[in-house]
Amino acid sequence: MLMGDTGIGADPGADDRAEHVPVMLDRIVELLAPALQEPGAVLVDGTLGLGGHAEAMLTALPGLRLVGIDRDTSALRRSRARLAPFAGRTEFAHAEYDALPRVLDDLGIGEVRGVLLDLGVSSPQLDEAERGFAYSYDAPLDMRMDRTQELTAADVVNGYSAAELTRVLRVYGEERFAARIAQALVRERAAGRIDSTRRLAELVREAIPAATRRTGGNPAKRTFQALRIEVNAELGILERTLPAAIDRLAVGGRIAVLSYHSLEDRMTKRAFAELATDRTPPGLPVPLPGSEPELRLLTRGAEAPTEEENERNPRAASARLRAAERLRRH
């Protein structure tokens, strides 16, 4: 669903700058800007959120054209208000970011010069208690980034089998007590539906051995992460998006990905490394045509925020940034 000037309405009373601190902002501008200097260059922000990164890029590059995608209609409404000064250079789409090729096709855009993916849950989603993302608030067990979809965290907790819950918690939350937590949830829901974030956090805490509860922060953290990933199909979407986004990059175009947990970062690392490798068979004196790397890595491993940024914005602490440049077509 594309949105021009008559799409999602702006909220002129919203002032999101004070509450939204874009993660690793200066470094992302530094990495992407060299590919976006030509007038009319297109940057796709696949996870637009409140538009902090997009605003910085549009300000720094007066000839830049932005395509902003987000699955959260509330975020799109607020980012559209924030980016109103750049009207004429912006397009908005309500979609999951794996729809990037379709969105570009609908706009008549072939190749782009930049792609930004800032993964994970946004600050507004965490701060709006009714969204059900945070264990620090008592709220309905929701966790949908796109509130037009049907599946909620409550549906997962109350509808999945013990084996399915165990898989979700173990794979997406890297929770070593996944089976114990799943069994506890199945027992509890037999007496009545589990519908609140507070009750879920209490059940997780009770299911984990007492000695483990005393270290490592809130014991519900991994369960909430796992349920959020499952509800929003985050890893499947990322797995589809990375090759599709790279495929739409022009030669010389750049992609930057901000991850917030190891599962996302490993997936990004693999996707970049595969295309940054010379596939000439060992022992040949020169690279075979068509076997040269398609990408050049712009970061040495995954870059982390500075200590200063972590102090200023504690939510940045888990962020890891990887970036790459397109060297050639297939």
Q: Which residues are annotated as a binding site?
A: 51-53, 70, 97, 118, 125
**Distance between CA 134 and CA 126 in Å, rounded?**
6
Residue type, 244: A
Closest of 133, 158, 115 to residue 74, by C-alpha: 133
How far is the CA of 225 from the CAs of 39, 86, 122, 143, 219, in angstroms? Answer: 40, 35, 13, 10, 11
* C-alpha to C-alpha distance for 219 and 271, rounded to whole angstroms: 31
Q: Tell me whether strands 2-3 and 90-94 are parallel, antiparallel or unpaired.
A: antiparallel
- Could you tell me which residues are annotated as the binding site for S-adenosyl-L-methionine? 51-53, 70, 97, 118, 125
Q: For residues 168 and 195, is the Cβ–Cβ distance under 8 A?
A: no
CA distance 215 to 194: 26
In whole angstroms, what is the distance from residue 23 CA to residue 121 CA?
12
Question: Residue 1 and residue 237: Cα distance in Å, rounded?
Answer: 17
Length of the chain: 330
240 token code pair: 């589809």
Beta strands per DSSP E along 78-217? 90-94, 112-118
Q: Hey, which bits of 154-269 come out as E strands?
A: 249-259
